Structure 1
């Protein structure tokens, strides 16, 4: 008892050196004193946050119960003597009420460290009335500091609450840097001696700072590249989970952005699940379109379809609030949640088309890429984007235009004007493309079966010459892809083909994981060398594994129409031809195409000049470009080869045939079979070159 009394008197004497003797100071049980006394060079928050024991503690021992100490019997007691704790803590310092949950109380073996005041002050230094120090904001800090190190230096000199100020300031500064500078600064940040202390302080403060500050801190930490499996990030994730019910609309937007930016892990998955529940409850209260889109982007592709439908309905209700930027971003938002809302996409497409001038090409690329991911085809939207890029072609980077053309190819969209401009650019500047770009360009032009009557020959020669320069650096797969594209376009550069036909390259292709695809392309090459005008290779036989294409059953309605029109025995179904070609129906007619010959009579005729063979192909939409009039590369090559084998080709569109009544279908096929007009092959056959 005497020891306690002596200790109390000693502390009281120490306390009198800092507090004016003419003021009455009342000690409260928790160790705070009133009235508050503020010193010019002393921040209460600094002492409160910096004088804890630096020993490592469990993640659950956080800062908000630091004034409680654990006794030997496990009970928690308040400690008002033995150390000086006579400092004021305002509501701004501790914005969240102290929590007295014993399960999460902070434990310190030696209690609070003794606070020593080395302050030789005059009367002017001690303020007799309460004043407020100017707080350091992240915006002010980011303006005053030029690097991440400067922020950490400021923290090490005088740490203030909350730590989110420093992390937000560092991320703001990092956004102004180039990629190389950012990597260098981040490395210096990790090695800075104050960085670890800042992380420790952030973990201690996590449960008492405002929730939006906590979310901004987590966002900055993730964006700064601090590994996700670190104690700091996982601690912040757990605290964000525990306090998720404090989310308002602003916090919901930040939380959605954070969840979207993080890689999947146990804590992130739990947080995303909690976010989905929260969104489901608050969806109709969201007022800002930006927040709505952030939420839609972050809930994940595996979110319940019911939640996706609710978000779609909410977005449709807010359509009148959509800005141009909202409409442009909605494509990416729907792709991120893997939800194809045709109504939303159509409405946003109209706004994008109407306000496309001045739109950066990167945003247009993102829109087209999202359309590809959503399997959404809008000919007007694609045409509007392609027209605008063609108009501003000279201001666009060539790699951006190529990427856009690649996306258009995935969507089967062919814009002749833009492709002609790109072709002209390649002809004039053949060195502007690297090897990877050359292979991509060949794939796009061959797949879409695009040619320009005056430029195609020169374009193919330039492409072949450019690729020949990479002959000993190109991979076997890229070489095969390039040669396959040339085959579709009826062009056969000897240097590339000779290199491809080397035994070691063929063996390498046949042993790869994509063997079936490679075998198909090699069979196409063999067929082209036999059927097209390539005299040098006609006698060459490639020893390739057998390959049979997937045979689809002939269109049942077309078969029924032919039976009604011609009768049994006048046509053949599912005919297999040499070089792995298959046709749905074959009809044999006289040379004038005025009479259909029975199959038995046609087989007797030996002179090919007396018989005209017709190949009827039932084709789906995917064999055409998006305009449904221009055949794509493989179909064009097949028609070219069938013509070489003596066939007259008739294309029957499956989707159109299904719409026709039986009478109309018979009339249509009759006009096609007995027509004496030559087929339009201007867009089908490329000029043969060697």
Structure 2
């Protein structure tokens, strides 16, 4: 009797918690427990019966029935249960739901059953042993997700992952709108509750790859992540993570990639990092390596990122074109800027650019932006390809590409000229978003076309005017700000913008700091530029803080050596309209003589020329050129209006030079008429 009580206590600890508490996923009701042939390795194997029957006969020996024994309390929700003695020790891995006898069965029925003489086919009735379902065949035979659930409701089989896989295969074939409708019907189907409950019950006995494919299909089908079924799958996978081979790691990474952070997802990601760290050198497939790299995320330890980078570099010779294209997004997802790997992949992308789909091009440029990776050859190749096949692309796609080029600081003249021509021809087809995006790109990159600039600006102004009745205040300000940077002033948009209620809205809502800066630009342009806007306008605005000054100390030393006195130049000069220059020099109009600031006569000389020396970082130019970007070009224009001659000194060039060479370099800039490159040139 003591032995029996010991086995009762041991059995109670083996009962699944979800059974004891009667917790059901997604609020689903408990279905009838019906299982078919079970094979933990592969449900499609034909030799299932031969492997299961001896185990069933062995487990059913020495079986006794738990009813209401003295001193023992039954677990709630379990009427009668069968417990097996196997060499004096319970074997939980061999226990399945077939071990639980339905509440309708009597003790007499079980006690009179001779398990030694009865085959497993008597124990597992024909109702419990339907033919296993192949998910590929099921997906071919069914026309909708509901059809799959209908097949399941008629004869459920093990494993339930086949039904989820079949539904996901069907969902991938149909359009997005139809897929959304089919998934709604799937959730409302009465058999879906039963399928989810069966999935939970089978999770611990299902083979690892079936379990992972199930998780991937469930997530892709849109089952909410916070449901008990999804969380149960995540928890079971955590327990069995060591069973994952390379294929399983790939499937798991694909599933986790789209899931939101939560305790179980985070724990599984951490476990995945440990497994990957151990198995990285054993991975044979490039796709698996990239999928894992993309999944483990930005929080991966730097040592593991470096190890994965070295593995990718080692396998670089086996990379296909698709692998090279995909590598940009992989590194961006991992937030690892491997210049060597990006350079090698860029060469392959450039050589195979023709035929590259828009989604891939967009992903490459977006990844370059996130990784702060600039490769002029890659960008030029993409721009030339889009310009050559311009008629293949929609206006929206071209604008997306140009917006990414703008954030990367790259100006593609050929592509931008093509778009200007299209805008002039089809200005009526532009919507508000297109107008604002195009104006932003062209003003930021300071792109001017000699033959079509005027027609282009007029077409853009006309398109913007047609949108004034429904445009927001911030969008209107952004558009007018772009026009001002390009020295063009459309009357109707400006009249709309300077209304008192619009100004008040901009100063009190949204990003007020940026709004104030852009309104100051409008004020400055209306006062300094020779605009077609003839009204005297001054918008009352809060005063901007002085521009931060960081003068180049090396340039100050060079000027002292060149001009032989610090009294011949002035530092950190603050000008009206919140403009700031690094150094000011006073020279004669021929720029052959420098006047001292201490000389009072020179200040009143009629032949004096004020020279503004600006220390310019690389970001103020377009990529690998001396073409100034929009804000610098506007500042040069306004300094010229205020009577300054502007000299640009490139910081990165000056930094490379020794002192003697730097003096010669700056002297040529100051005294030579040919040394004032304020227009487009090649450095």
Answer yes or no: is 1:244 the counterpart of 2:241: yes
SS of equivalent to 1:174: helix
Superposed CA offset, 1:88-123 (max 9, x none):
xxxxxxxxx951699x9987783879999xxxxxxx
The answer on 1:591 being equivalent to 2:589 is: yes
Q: Please give the TM-score of this superposition, normalised by the length of structure 2.
A: 0.83
Contact kept in structure 1, 2:81 and 2:101, CA below 8 Å? no
Question: Structure 2 regions of 5+ residues with no counterpart?
Answer: 1-32, 40-55, 84-90, 111-120
Counterpart contact for 2:130–2:157, Cα < 8 Å:
no
Match of 1:61 in 2: none
| Structure 1, 511-520 or 638-647: larger mean CA deviation | 511-520
Candidates 405, 408, 413, aligned match of 2:405: 408
Partner of 1:99: 93
Which residue in 2 is equivalent to 1:494?
Answer: 491
Residue from 332, 336, 342 that aligns with 1:335: 332
Structure 2 CA distance for aligned equivalents of residues 432 and 270 of structure 1: 51
Whether the 8 Å CA contact 1:69–1:108 is kept in 2: the answer is: no
- Using the alignment, how far apart are the partners of 1:229 and 1:449 within structure 2? 49
Q: In structure 2, what is the Cα distance between the partners aligned to 1:211 and 1:311?
A: 25
Give the RMSD, CA atoms, in angstroms. Answer: 3.2
| CA pair 635-285 structure 1, distance change in 2 beyond 3 A | same
Per-residue deviation at 1:535? 6.0
Whole-Å Cα distance in 1 between the matches of residues 343 and 217 of structure 2? 36
Pair 245,615 (structure 1): closer, same or farther in 2 beyond 3 Å: same
Instruction: Tell me: CA distance 1:514–1:549, structure 2 relative to 1, closer, same or farther (3 Å).
Output: farther
Aligned to 1:624: 621
Q: Separation in 1 of the partners of 2:360 and 2:327?
A: 11
Query: CA–CA distance in 2 between the matches of 1:69 and 1:367?
Result: 65
Separation in structure 1 between the aligned mates of residue 82 and residue 664 of structure 2, nearest angstrom: 103
Q: Partners of 1:504 and 1:160 in 2: how far apart?
A: 69
Give, in angstroms, the shift of residue 592 of structure 1.
Answer: 1.7
Aligned counterpart, 1:60? none
For 1:359 and 1:494, the matched residues in 2 are separated by 43
Cα distance in 1 for residues equivalent to 2:672 and 2:65: 99
Gap change, CA 1:385 and 1:602, over 3 Å in 2:
farther
1:293 aligns with 2:290: yes
Contact map agreement 1:70 1:108 (CA 8 A) in 2: no
The change in CA–CA distance for 1:266 and 1:108 in structure 2 (over 3 A counts) is: farther
Contact 1:138 1:168 in 2 (8 A): yes
Q: How many residues align?
A: 601
**Any idea what SS the aligned residue of 1:579 has?**
helix
Mapped to 1, the partners of 2:278 and 2:679 lie a distance apart of 60
TM-score (norm 1): 0.82
Q: Decide whether aligned partners of structure 1 residues 325 and 422 sit closer, same or farther in structure 2, where only a CA change above 3 A counts.
A: same
Q: Extract unaligned runs of 5+ from structure 1.
A: 1-42, 50-63, 86-96, 117-125, 685-690
The reply on whether 1:662 has 2:656 as its aligned counterpart is no
Over 3 Å counting, the alpha-carbon distance change for 1:498 and 1:106 in structure 2 is: farther
Pick one of 79, 103, 106 that aligns with 1:110.
Answer: 103
Deviates more, 1:174-183 or 1:645-654: 174-183
Alpha-carbon distance in structure 2 between the residues aligned to 1:554 and 1:467 = 41
* Cα distance in 2 for residues equivalent to 1:642 and 1:394: 41
Mapped contact 2:669–2:675 kept (Cα < 8 A): no
Matches within 5 A, 1:191-210: 191-210=188-207
1:348-367 alignment to 2 at 5 Å? Answer: 348-367=345-364
Q: Would the alpha carbon gap of residues 499 and 383 (structure 1) be closer, same or farther in structure 2, given more than 3 Å must change?
A: same
In the alignment, what sits opposite 2:42?
none
Equivalent position of 2:47 in the other structure: none
Residue 467 (structure 1) aligned with residue 483 (structure 2) = no
| Alpha-carbon offset, residue 603 of structure 1 | 6.4
Please tell me whether the aligned partners of residues 38 and 158 of structure 2 are also in contact (alpha carbons under 8 angstroms): no
Matched residue of 2:566: which SS? Answer: coil
Deviations along 1:11-46, one digit per CA (max 9) or x if unpaired, are xxxxxxxxxxxxxxxxxxxxxxxxxxxxxxxx9944
Provide closer, same or farther for how the CA distance between residues 536 and 261 of structure 1 changes in structure 2, counting only shifts above 3 A: closer
Contact kept? 2:65, 2:81, Cα under 8 Å: no
